[in-house]
Amino acid sequence: MSMCSRGRAADTMRSHMKRIRLYVHVILVTAMAGGGCARSEYSYRGANYETQIEKGAVLRSISLDPATEDEVLALVPERISVREIRDVLSRGPAPRIVILDGSLPIVTMESFSEFLIDMGYPEEKIRKPNGGGYSYNGFTDSKRLAGTLAWYYEKEGMMPILIGHSQGGMLAIKVLHELAGAFHDNIPVWNPLTNEAEERGTIVDPITGQKRAVIGLQVRYAAAITTGKVMRIVLGQWDMLPRLREIPDTVEEFTGFSLAWDLIAGNFGAAARYRPLGSARVRNVTLPGEYTHITVPLTKHLAANEVTREWISRYVPTSEMPEFPTNVDVDTRNIVHAADIWYHVKKYWCVEAQRLIRARRSMMGGRDFSS
């Protein structure tokens, strides 16, 4: 081995050891802290939901003028501009985004939630109705969360988007397996306003008007950020060890973001790889080596800077890593997954809005709603 090669190997080893020391320090501090971050107060501004939904009620409740509907239908989901968000999408319905924290409370997903809001996503579709927090605890019961998604779909006509970091990424994937019936034969609908289960395992589909079970519902988009197997072992989450990298058909599109040499996630070398069990579209994205497991949720600064905000707005996923902004004074930390998730949030915001408008027009045009 040449002197140059030995030098690079030594630098790599020092980098890994430094990361190990950081992780150990964080875990020890977390264990001693034993608590979460405070949430600011917020009054829910959503609709006055009824327990029972009549057939067609959600579609009839959409109050867009025909011209705005035409503008939404003319959008290309894969090419949504800043102007189209501001002048078109923001005037119509949007799917709820359920954002899930990791197991270490030092850094939550609050910064990521604020990033999405600052980029133009409706705040009321990210905040929780009870308590108004930006994100859900990553240790929320997966069966309860699956029932919550069903409740929102029935009442709002759009399946929520799932985004989780670390433990929260595991929970997002577990919810997909819950919807696939991997753990239970029946999942009750969970009302997030009363924080109680309803005595039913079915909903009225807001699009078809037909009764259907919670099991079998499909999420449009989900993402897991730096989620690994080591913590599944540490936390005794044995039922997810064989399922963690397998994505069922209960999601249309899934992206897994991983780090090589992510010791908390258990990647001792190559980044993790997710695979579809069937028809789900699954992408694997390896994040830059300078990113860290603990700090990947910190993204609010990206929406506050004009240079990074514009770069993210123009971002389109490719097989190769795009060139980052080169301005010396610009902080581009965590821009990769922030841009990639924002691209897909815009896409499915548009897809779901178009779907609702088409269904409403079909119903109002005299077509048999029960067919």
Write out pLDDT tens, residues 227-270: 887 777 776 777 888 899 999 999 999 999 999 888 888 777 78
Residues ≥6 apart with Cβ < 8 Å to 253:
220, 221, 222, 280, 281, 282, 283, 344, 348
> Over the stretch 323-366, which tens digit does the pLDDT of each residue have?
888 777 899 999 999 999 999 999 999 999 999 999 999 888 74
DSSP 123: G
- The confidence score (pLDDT) of residue 131 equals 65
- pTM, full prediction: 0.84
Q: Report the alpha-carbon distance of residue 238 to residue 74 in Å, rounded.
A: 47
How confident is the model over 75-82, as a mean pLDDT?
Answer: 97
- Coil, strand or helix at 251: strand
Average pLDDT over residues 278-300: 95
Q: What is the mean pLDDT of the chain?
A: 84
State the DSSP string of 208-258.
Answer: T--EEESTT--EEEEEEES--SHHHHHTT-GGGTTTTTEE-TTEEEEEEEE
Q: For the chain, percent helix, then strand, then coil, each to nearest 5?
A: 40, 15, 50
pLDDT of the residue at 27: 40
Domain boundaries, the chain: 1-33, 57-364
The candidate with the shortest Cα–Cα distance to 341, out of 253, 215, 241, 255, is 255
Location of structure tokens 């795009």: 322
